Amino acid sequence: MGVYVDAAIWKWEGHRWCHLLADDTDELHRFAARLAIKRSSYQGPPKTSAPHYDITGLERDRAVRLGAVACSREEIVAVFRRVRVPNGKARR
């Protein structure tokens, strides 16, 4: 199992953001806790189909130092597809 991060390219509120995903939701929560990311920052079903955290570029750097795998856009999309919950996204 692994934990993955993409590049911090998304600008919002003065920071650059990226996604933190894992092969297993429990592993994702444990890794986020090691980064001191609040559980309330978790995004998953039913609001989004893939369990993940949005993290800043600084948190990304720490995540990579702690063992997260840095991924290209294509690689993170593959992880997203692998971990997504079918029909997990709420309909609007």
Beta pairing partners, 4: 21, 69
Q: What is the pTM of this model?
A: 0.86
When pLDDT is cut at 50, 70 and 90, the band that residue 75 belongs to is very high
Beta pairing partners, 69: 4
- With CA atoms as reference, report the closest residue to 42 among 67, 64, 20: 20
Helix/strand number for the chain, H first, E second: 3, 6
When pLDDT is cut at 50, 70 and 90, the band that residue 92 belongs to is very low
Tens digits of per-residue pLDDT, 2-39? 999 999 887 877 878 999 999 999 999 999 999 999 99
